[in-house]
């Protein structure tokens, strides 16, 4: 019941500082933070040289339950989250049936309570069946526990429908998280439209397919006052549109995935279907712009878009494979390897994008280490190294393009409500 996390470098993403402190936990709550706190029979976790952080939150995850349990379940997906250092995830509504009514939201929460290793926050659909026509009963969804609205991988094509959705969401103080993609411009594209798609003979998806919808939804958010959060930005143009909107005072935030700041469309060479994602891996110029957006604060959140698929589904020709890769287990290592160690973000800046900022977007009480707060804590060892092996991933699916890549800076302990659910890269919860 008592724990003392001793001598760690405590990260405060609000103040953007790091200070060596002890943290005392009792009955799942932080009861003291300071120097040389007495042990008093508590379990001691030696954290010298490690970063003690507010529990990380991945606000864009596909848990696949109900309906697609052959890809992932709430049990396996939350184990993957715990291994990756996340104490909470927000799950997308593209289940079967779609999470477009209160009973499914309650079902997800009940299953999460029974089988989840970390906390789960459901995101509900904007339109019924995510078909883009009829709005869901948003007030009922919020009352049932939904924290945001999204049709996820299906864009709301009608500007009129999206405008009404934003008007209602604004009244309920629910963020809208659109998948910004013009399907007419996408056509049959399967990768980024550019030199590489021409060389590989694959139909391309132009950057404009994303950017025109980002622009439209920013305009609608500016008109309605709605809290807009743009999922997985992938192009330089999208980053600049968000940057300009923020300067005008639009209530907009956005996220990027680790694969979009790490990989380019050159990775598609060899036709590895684990590189097939939506939005697609973009050009090196887009990756540079994303890193600039992370550094200057235009991009608020790092989220994985964890999208598990079975080996059989991915073991087909590139054109026919489903979009998506798994990201929960590798995200922190990629952030520290690609961003922190290269000076693009400081550790507090990175942790803010992984904890405090997603909590603020979703309106949940999390992302801070303070006396009286629930002890959701992630401990990261900046010096720990690991070579990614899909066989060692905790989730049900193994569709990662990072097989064999060495990462430095890894989560080594995850605590949820003061309980250790992952230690030394092994899930214990």
Q: pLDDT by residue (tens digit) across 141-165?
A: 999 999 999 999 999 999 999 999 9
Q: Measured between alpha carbons, how far is 20 from 9 in angstroms, rounded to an integer?
A: 4
Across the chain, mean pLDDT equals: 97
- Sign for the CA dihedral angle at 394, 397, 403, 408 comes to negative
Domains of the chain: 2-51+374-427 (2.30.40.10), 56-362 (3.20.20.140)
For every residue of 227-279, DSSP letters joined together read -EEE----SHHHHHHHHHHHHHT--EEEEE-HHHHH--GGGGTT--GGG--SS
Q: Measured between alpha carbons, how far is 77 from 64 in angstroms, rounded to an integer?
A: 9
**329 alpha-carbon distance from chain centroid:** 12
- Sign for the CA dihedral angle at 189, 194, 195, 196 comes to negative
Confidence of residue 29 (pLDDT cuts 50, 70, 90): very high
E-only strand ranges, 123-251: 191-192, 204-205, 228-230
Q: pLDDT by residue (tens digit) across 156-197?
A: 999 999 999 999 999 999 999 999 999 999 999 999 999 999
Residue 60 pLDDT > 80? yes
Is position 305 annotated as part of the catalytic site?
A: yes
Q: pLDDT by residue (tens digit) across 200-226?
A: 999 999 999 999 999 999 999 999 999
Q: pLDDT by residue (tens digit) across 331-355?
A: 999 999 999 999 999 999 999 999 9
Among the listed residues 305, 376, 381, 424, the single catalytic one is 305
Residue 429 pLDDT > 90? no
Structure tokens at 322: 């489903």
Of all residues in the chain, the percent with pLDDT exceeding 70 is: 100
Note the pLDDT of residue 3: 97
Note the pLDDT of residue 318: 98
Residue 40 pLDDT > 90? no
Q: What letter does residue 176 receive in the DSSP assignment?
A: B
- Sign for the CA dihedral angle at 401, 405, 410, 413 comes to positive
């Amino acid at each position: 019941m008592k724990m003392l996390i001793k001598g760690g470098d405590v990260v405060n993403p609000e103040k953007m500082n790091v200070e060596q402190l002890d943290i005392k936990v009792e009955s799942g709550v932080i009861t003291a933070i300071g120097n040389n706190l007495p042990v008093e029979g508590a379990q001691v976790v030696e954290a010298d040289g490690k970063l003690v952080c507010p529990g990380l939150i991945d606000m864009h995850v596909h848990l696949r339950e109900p309906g697609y349990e052959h890809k992932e379940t709430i049990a396996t997906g939350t184990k993957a989250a715990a291994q990756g250092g996340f104490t909470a995830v927000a799950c997308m509504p593209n289940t079967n049936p779609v999470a477009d009514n209160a009973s499914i939201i309650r079902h997800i929460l009940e299953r999460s309570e029974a089988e989840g290793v970390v906390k789960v926050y459901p995101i509900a659909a904007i339109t019924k069946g995510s078909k883009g026509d009829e709005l869901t009963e948003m007030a009922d969804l919020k009352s049932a526990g939904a924290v945001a609205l999204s049709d996820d991988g299906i864009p709301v094509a009608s500007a009129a429908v999206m405008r009404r959705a934003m008007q209602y969401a604004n009244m309920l103080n629910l963020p809208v998280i659109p998948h910004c993609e013009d399907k007419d411009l996408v056509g049959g594209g399967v990768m980024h439209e550019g030199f590489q798609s021409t060389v590989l003979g694959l139909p391309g998806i132009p950057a404009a397919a994303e950017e025109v919808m980002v622009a439209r939804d920013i305009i609608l958010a500016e008109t309605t006052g709605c809290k807009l959060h743009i999922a997985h930005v992938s192009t330089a143009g999208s980053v600049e549109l968000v940057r300009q909107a923020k300067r005008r005072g639009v209530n907009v935030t956005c996220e990027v995935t680790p694969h979009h700041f790490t990989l380019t469309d050159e990775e598609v060479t060899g036709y590895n279907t684990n590189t097939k994602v939506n939005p697609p891996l973009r050009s090196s110029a887009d990756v540079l712009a994303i890193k600039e957006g992370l550094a200057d604060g235009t991009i608020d959140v790092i989220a994985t878009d964890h999208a598990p698929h079975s080996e059989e589904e991915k073991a087909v020709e590139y054109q026919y494979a489903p979009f998506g890769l798994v990201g929960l287990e590798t995200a922190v290592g990629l952030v520290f390897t690609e961003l922190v160690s290269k000076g693009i973000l400081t550790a507090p800046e990175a942790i803010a994008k992984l904890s405090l900022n997603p909590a603020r977007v979703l309106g949940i009480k999390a992302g801070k280490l303070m006396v009286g707060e629930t002890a959701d804590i992630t401990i990261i060892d900046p010096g720990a190294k690991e070579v990614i092996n899909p066989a060692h991933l905790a989730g049900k699916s193994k569709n990662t393009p990072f097989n064999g890549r060495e990462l430095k800076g890894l989560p080594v302990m995850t605590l949820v409500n003061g309980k250790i659910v992952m230690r030394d890269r092994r899930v214990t919860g």
